[in-house]
Amino acid sequence: MIATRWKSLMLPMVAALLLAVQVAPSASARQTTAASLSADRLACTEAKDSEACNSAYNYVNAQIKAANGANTDALKATFRDVMETGCAINNGQLCGELGAAYLGGLNGYPKDKSIAREKLERGCELGHSKSCEVAGIFYDAGVTVTVDRSKATSLYEKGCDLSSFPSCALWAEMLLKAHVEAAPAALVGIAGLKSRCADYALDGPSCIAVGMTYQRGSDGAEKNETLAWQYWAKACREISYGPACTLHGLAVIRISSPKEPESSANREARQALQKACSLGEVEACEFLIPAADVGRMNYGPAMAEAHYRLCLAKPSLAQCERAARAFASGKLPTEEFEYGFTPNKPKATLAWLTACRAFNTRCVEAANLHLEKQAFALPSPNLAIGILETACSKGDAAACTRKAAVITETGGVKGSYIDPLSSDDERYMLAKFDMDSGDLNRGRETMQWLANTGHSDAQLELAIAYETGLSPTPDGRGIALFNANDMMGQLFELAAQKGIPDAAMRVAVRKYNENDYEGSDSYTNAIYRANYLGAEGAEEFYLAVIERNKARWEAKSQELIAMNRRNVEARNNMDRQTVQRAWDQYAENRRKEAEEDGGQVCGRVIGQGNSSYRTCMSRDHANKYYRGNF
């Protein structure tokens, strides 16, 4: 675990980390030998050949270690030459090694932490990940400089970006510290917060607040970081609360072992950060891009999503291009990840559209995607031409050329359109006004594309419009997008997933009417979500359904009792009839036997002591057994 007692532990950590820096050989395809050392040294120091510096450094470093301190003066002189020359010609690793030597007073260098820090910072600038990691600790602990957490954080971030897992963990530590320090004191006690984070009353902010009290050991709670992470994990896992996912991921990754990047803790942290990023948490996306593991199967979609979210929140052409290409093709636009994933044309469309708006480039790609049928939108030549026309007016020559071609292919603009390069919120307001005022074709066209690219208000508005009878297709057009009822349900669900209470309530009612009580998308889960989001009428509907179900079960129970009673009576009646039939059959058999024996006679039988009784029997039986007594 990364200790929080930074100042007392920092210098030993620095020394240990820097010694680790020296152990690893510098990357070099060249292999220096005893015979070639002199030539490689000259190539390094005279010809300023960085690869020769690396190769000579590796050989001399190995020889010094093997000598174990005996007769190494000449080797150390060569060692210093190649390190100093390598750093001077911008070899990042050798700058880091030089910093390690000054920090530890190694190989003839005096201990000088200030020079060590300078060399490590230079190594970091030149792309040496370990240098970033250790230089960050200087600023974090205030070693030779004033404490500067912002500088430390940027150094850790760069080290993480250069694939130093310890740097990622240190960066996570800094981010988590900032969250904990910024969190306000709880307005209620720990018991009250826990009740709001209970299984059937899950409130994301309350779960975070419980975690913060345990993380800090404040507001009546003893410090317990494990409990803190568990509460954040609960809110992330059970209600997909993005900020909780971010905190959970950062908290776990900061304690994960750098020696076990595939440990369960590291996987858990990455999964939490991926979920947070998919929920729109920009900080999680920023952390995920350098920290994610290229070897994992879900790396591709996770990276595409991270670049996409950053493209929307902090547009950069690189982020938008990477996201758009990945989602359009279902593959990262580099060779770093071999597995494909499901393309997402709506996200590719919005990424290209963002690049077009922000940088007036990639407008042709954005327009071309508007000519395709997508999940919730029909092809729209109007909007495609609108994108190209605006881009062309701003000097995009490719847009001008493509605009002429699209007009030829489609016949040009039909009616009018809302400018697709206006902000999405402005487009939504204009489209809603059009639909409310009766201009259905223009309003529906923009509303469909906004809903298609994830605009929450547009998704809800369009779903309600379909619910009240709006056709998915323009008047007179003989193409069906797809079933309006299915699309309405999907749009309500998408809006509900984003935390829109009205949409969540409508999903719950639909699930109830469909009698859907099975699976993760059941009525039960839907009404819990609507209640959690505070949807109007959700609690009343939930209680009414309980009462209605109770009444139904009581009626069903009475019906079952009555049916059982009828069954018992029928069975009893059947039993009496069966007995009567058996006796009737017996009597009939006796009558037939009597006829066969000469008929039946009745009389008095005289027994012992002059007793007698009257009976009937066959004549043959009377003659055989009762002759003289009958």
CATH code for the domain defined by 176-410: 1.25.40
* Tokens, residue 138: 């200087």
Helix (H, G, I), strand (E, B) or coil at 335: coil
Burial status of residue 608 (CB atoms within 10 A of its CB: 0-12, 13-18, 19 or more):
exposed
**CB–CB of 324/366 below 8 Å?**
no
Q: What is the pLDDT of residue 176?
A: 92
The C-alpha atoms of residue 26 and residue 92 are separated, in whole angstroms, by: 10
Total number of residues shown for the chain:
630
- 503-506 own/partner pairs: CB under 8 Å, 24+ apart: 503/459, 503/460, 503/463, 504/529, 504/530, 504/533, 504/535, 504/538, 505/530, 505/535, 505/536, 505/537, 505/538, 505/541, 506/463, 506/467
The pLDDT value given to residue 321: 94
Residue whose tokens read 């007009």: 407
Structure token pair of residue 30: 């060249």
Is residue 135 within 8 A of residue 127, CB to CB? The reply is no
Confidence at residue 478, expressed as pLDDT on a 0 to 100 scale: 42
CA 256 – CA 7 distance, rounded (Å): 21
Separation between Cα atoms, residue 630 and residue 624, nearest integer Å: 11
List the structure tokens of 390.
Answer: 């605006």
> What pLDDT does residue 7 have?
39
pLDDT at residue 541 in the model = 83
DSSP codes, 173-238 = HHHHHHHHHHSPPPSS-HHHHHHHTSTTS--HHHHHHHHHHHHHT-TT----HHHHHHHHHHHHHH
Element (H, E) at 478: none
pLDDT at 16: 47
What was the pLDDT predicted at 8? 37
Identify the H or E element spanning 617: strand 612-618
Dist. CA 428–CA 434, nearest whole Å: 10
> 């609507």: which residue's tokens?
530
What is the distance between the terminal CA atoms of the chain, rounded to a whole angstrom? 114
DSSP-derived 3-state class of residue 341: coil
The parts of the chain modelled with pLDDT lower than 50 are: 1-9, 11-12, 15-17, 19-24, 476, 478
Dist CA 626 CA 605 (whole Å):
8
Q: Which long-range contacts (CB under 8 A, 24 or more apart) does 465-468 make?
A: 465/435, 466/491, 467/506
Interior CA angle at 167 toward 140 and 178, to 5°? 50
d(CA 308, CA 311) in angstroms, rounded, equals: 5
HEC-encoded secondary structure of 491-525:
HHHHHHHCCCHHHHHHHHHHHHHCCCCCCCCCHHH
Same fold, 6-172 and 176-410: yes
Beta bridge partners of 603: 615
Q: 3-state DSSP: the chain helix, strand, coil percent, rounded to 5?
A: 70, 0, 30
Q: Which CATH architecture has domain 6-172?
A: Alpha Horseshoe (1.25)
For the chain, give every domain's residue range: 6-172, 176-410, 597-630
Q: Rounded to the nearest 10 degrees, how much is the dihedral formed by the CA atoms of 368, 373, 379, 385? A: -10
